Chain A
Amino acid sequence: MKDVLIPVLLILLAPLLGGLLYGFERIVKARMQRRIGPPLLQPFYDFLKLADKRRMMVHSTHAFLGIMHFVSLWFALAVLLLGGDLVLVIFLHLLSTSLLILAGYSTRSVFSHLGANRAAISVLAYEPVLIIIAVSIFMLNGTFDTAAVFTGKEPLLYKMPLAFIALLLVLPIKLKKSPFDVAEAHQEITGGVELEFSGLFYEAVYTARWLDYIFCYTLVFLFAGSNILLGIGLVVFTFIYLNALDNSTARVSYKQMLRFSLGVAGTLAFINLLINSFS
């Protein structure tokens, strides 16, 4: 009973926790730039304000795809937290991202198309690395289930440190952080796929980003296994690393991003896979 209660609570409260995390991140980012920053509850104020705007949509399929992006991402998070198949989780996440890419292609806006192209390239950059990491976990545990990882005695971090470094290198792509934020690129293509969403329908995409934070930090937590203190340490380290990286780097082009993630992060993950399969 207790084993199920905590994941279910986490799943139900995931949008709330993600919103708080996003608000906290904005404060941390502002403090790194010696600014004061917005209040902690700022994402929820944004949420309530967006609900108050006049409803506008491009066409119904576009709005529907945006909402389904949120729903499928929440479902992927639920499968991950309840100890489901890791490959299934990665592909569910891919499904939710591809729904958003489809939404981007379904409008006639040039920026939306450009953003969808770039989002598709980002998927191409991080997806192989995540799958190699999942296969490495299979080689160690003999199963893809995350339940086996959460209950494992020795943390994965000690057995596959190279995979953790590879994950750290691809996380900025997944969370659309600088230097790998070509997919979003605010002020260049003004949000890319999110461009045509407005008001109530933008909320689905906006809150899906909060869920994405929880999803990515759960992936990081996975490397600590049953060691909760180590897990919290890893999450805090990743949080500071991501924000410092976001504040200190400029955007690279999509070709550089692809070359870096497949060349460096992909190679690291693959070496890790070889070590794990032959040791």
Chain B
Amino acid sequence: MNLAPYRKKSPWILHYNAGGCNGCDIEILACLSPKYDIERFGMINTGNPKQSDILLVTGPVTKRSRERLVEIYAQMPEPKVVISCGACASTGGVFRGMYNCEGGVDQFIPVDVYVCGCGTRPEQIIDGVVQALAILEKKTKGLEESVKLKKEAVKEGHQLNRRHIADEIKPVLT
């Protein structure tokens, strides 16, 4: 029996904030409200990685949250898709290059759909989820690994920190 068509009828969403400003999170919660009501597509905000299909990540990945992000991704059973919600999750946004941030989500886990905007609009999030469902239907139950587990660790001094930024400014001031 082919059960793949039922995947898009009940996508359960796991929402994770990797260290953003909560702007996108508010918009995700707005999707659940009476105006947008994504539950009419059968979506539930579960909060439990072991029972969810879609990982919605918001915010840039901070150095503290990257291990948790990879852990949560590894706990989700396949088939699963990842949506990076907002400019920060997709590229790092305004936090890119800061001493405490690693940048976009796709450095650590494979991202299927990028949703732009700062913060994203609920319409955009719903559109992104609908695109993710088309991908989810084609996915197999094969094991998916995070990018981070395959890649070597980020070297020390790879990121800019406050002192580096200050070094650049110094000659201009004197």
The main secondary structure of chain B at its interface with chain A is loop
Residue of B nearest to A202 (CB): B51
Given contacts A35-B40, A56-B50, A186-B47, contact A49 B34 (CB under 8 A): no
Residue of A nearest to B143 (CB): A54
Q: Which B residues are CB-close (under 8 A) to A141?
A: none
Within 8 A of B (CB), among A136-161: none
Structural contact, A39 and B50, CB atoms closer than 8 A: no
Q: Which of B4, B42, B46, B141 interacts with A38 by CB under 8 Å?
A: B42
Structural contact, B79 and A53, CB atoms closer than 8 A: yes
Structural contact, A36 and B40, CB atoms closer than 8 A: yes
CB distance from B52 to the nearest CB of A (A): 9
Structural contact, B79 and A35, CB atoms closer than 8 A: no
CB distance from B2 to the nearest CB of A (A): 9
Query: How does the 8 Å CB contact mask read for B1-14 relative to A, with 1 for contact and 0 for none?
Result: 00110110110100
Residue of B nearest to A34 (CB): B34
Q: For the complex, count residues of B whose C-beta is within 8 A of A.
A: 25
Cα–Cα distance between A194 and B50 once the two chains are bound (Å): 10
CB distance from B55 to the nearest CB of A (A): 14
Structural contact, B4 and A195, CB atoms closer than 8 A: no
A131 at the interface (CB under 8 A from B): no
Residue of B nearest to A109 (CB): B50
Within 8 A of A (CB), among B46-95: 46-48, 50-51, 53, 77-79
CB distance from B30 to the nearest CB of A (A): 13
Q: Which B residues are CB-close (under 8 A) to A51?
A: 3
Instruction: Give the interface size bracket for A toward B.
Output: 20 to 34
Cα–Cα distance between A52 and B141 once the two chains are bound (Å): 8
Q: Which of B37, B41, B46, B53 interacts with A49 by CB under 8 Å?
A: B53
Given contacts A51-B3, A52-B4, A190-B48, contact A46 B42 (CB under 8 A): yes
A187 at the interface (CB under 8 A from B): yes
Structural contact, B40 and A198, CB atoms closer than 8 A: no
Structural contact, B47 and A42, CB atoms closer than 8 A: no
Structural contact, A53 and B10, CB atoms closer than 8 A: no
A191 at the interface (CB under 8 A from B): yes
Q: Which A residues are CB-close (under 8 A) to B27?
A: none
CB distance from A174 to the nearest CB of B (A): 22
Given contacts A48-B3, A202-B51, contact A39 B42 (CB under 8 A): yes
CB distance from B82 to the nearest CB of A (A): 16
* Beyond known contacts A35-B40, A52-B4, A54-B79: 20 more, CB 8 A cutoff: A30-B40, A35-B34, A36-B37, A37-B37, A45-B10, A46-B42, A49-B6, A50-B51, A51-B3, A54-B143, A55-B77, A56-B50, A186-B46, A186-B47, A187-B45, A187-B47, A191-B48, A196-B50, A198-B77, A199-B77
A residues with a Cβ closer than 8 A to B are: 26, 30, 33-39, 42, 45-46, 48-56, 186-187, 190-191, 194-199, 202
Closest 8 CB pairs between A and B? A198-B50, A52-B3, A48-B6, A45-B9, A35-B37, A46-B10, A54-B77, A54-B78
